[in-house]
Amino acid sequence: MAGVDFAGRVTLHDVAAAAGVSIATASKALNDTGRMSADTRARIRRVAQEMGFRPNVLAKSLTSKRSFTVGLLTNDTYGRFTLPVMAGISEGLIDHGVSVFLCTVEDNPELAKIHVDAMLDKQVDGIIATGKRIDKPLPVDLSKLSVPVVYALTAGPADAVTLLPNDRQGADEAVQHLIAERRQRIVHITGPGAFRVVQERAAAFSEALDRAGLPVSDAAILQGDWSERWGHEAVAMLWSGDAQPDGIFCGNDQIARGVIDALRERGVGVPAQVSVVGFDNWEIVAEQTRPPLTTVDMNLKELGRQAGQALLRLVNGEAVEQGLWKLPCTLVVRGS
């Protein structure tokens, strides 16, 4: 690479000279076009990276009529669900030179419209809508926009591409794990009954117990809010009765942490006497619980990655299967 001036902006001509190829060959290698050996393409890209070459995105946008940006719209202002989804989207698009910018709308229709209009003014190539509930759409209609839209972890129209975790499958794995641990009296402590995820996880809970020949009753499903406090209260209710459970499946990790703390306060060993499984794999909670929490991971980063790639295919005019995509959850076994 002798003779290349790194003081100013590195140009395509500089990259071609350093790699010992023509400008046309360098351009084709960096744009993943043309015919050449894989080794040559990889070598030119490596040289460009080492030199700090940055393509002129504006020129590229003008020739391709694309902005190489996508908008991410969410009402999850806390970021508990949106941040891992966004990480996956960025990971899935970065190799294609596409950037993501995030707008939070809370539940405000006027704010949502302002952000959507701003995205369209910036000529985004597409929009990904995400949120904090799979049964509640964002407060703005995205169905008639001039750019493609993909929905991830939020409700979308029937004819759209919508990606959700498979809550039933994840809950089934959680209960099967408790059964494999030889637990016979299993209860489910979960969130508000109006949430679709609560309904789906509760249905999977009952079905798994029924398949295993274990007793199923409405009393085994306790609904409250999504909090550690509710986990404490539910344990107090259960331990005020005659027959205490030996296995507890919780609707999220916060409830599970409250359950484990309440059991420890009562001198009940986890998992020696009672096994506990959560849902979400919120690592900041699950890994710091004592003992570390066995829980179900919704694989939100992978969900975001697939959402980003689906949007990219739509932007490129490729056929993408419309409707609901349910992605598998994963049981993460720790110490509880």
Terminal CA-to-CA distance of the chain, rounded, Å?
A: 57
CATH topology of domain 167-297: Rossmann fold (3.40.50)
**Amino acid symbol at 4:** V
Q: Which DSSP category does 329 fall into? A: P
Q: What dihedral angle (degrees, nearest 10) is formed by the CA atoms of 175, 180, 183, 185? A: 40
User: What pLDDT does 6 receive?
Assistant: 38
- Exposed/middle/buried for 259, CB within 10 Å: 0-12, 13-18, 19+? buried
List 99's β-bridge partners, or say none.
69
- What is the sign of the dihedral through the CA atoms of 304, 305, 306 and 311? positive
Domain ranges within the chain, ordered by starting residue: 12-55, 66-164+300-328, 167-297
pLDDT digits (tens, 9 = 90+) for 303-319: 999 999 999 899 888 88
Torsion angles phi and psi, residue 326, rounded to 5 = -105, 120
In whole angstroms, what is the distance from residue 39 CA to residue 31 CA? 15
pLDDT per position as a tens digit, 275-304: 999 999 999 999 999 999 999 999 999 999
Tens of pLDDT along 125-152? 899 999 988 998 999 999 888 899 999 9
- Residue 143 near residue 115 (C-beta atoms within 8 A): no
> Quick one: pLDDT band at residue 9, thresholds 50, 70, 90?
low
Q: CATH fold of 66-164+300-328, please?
A: Rossmann fold (3.40.50)
CA distance to 10, 91, 188, 189, 208, per residue, from 234 (Å): 63, 40, 10, 7, 22
What count of Cα atoms within 13 Å lies in the side-chain half-sphere of residue 82? Answer: 23
Q: Which two tokens stand for residue 217?
A: 């009753």
CB atoms within 10 A of CB 6: 10
Cβ atoms of 250 and 289 within 8 Å: the answer is no
Average pLDDT, the chain: 90
Alpha-carbon span 289 to 190, nearest angstrom:
18
The pairing of beta strand 161-165 with beta strand 149-152: parallel
**What average pLDDT score do residues 214-229 get?**
94
pLDDT category at 58 given cuts 50, 70, 90 is: very low
Residue pair 50/115 in contact (Cβ under 8 Å)? The answer is no
- Taking residue 23's Cβ as centre, other Cβ atoms within 10 Å add up to 13
| Mean pLDDT value of segment 107-114 | 91
Other C-beta atoms closer than 10 Å to the C-beta of 269 total 10
Average pLDDT rounded to a whole number, residues 235-241: 94
Q: How confident is the model at residue 26 (pLDDT cuts 50, 70, 90)?
A: confident
Same fold yes or no, 66-164+300-328 and 167-297 = yes
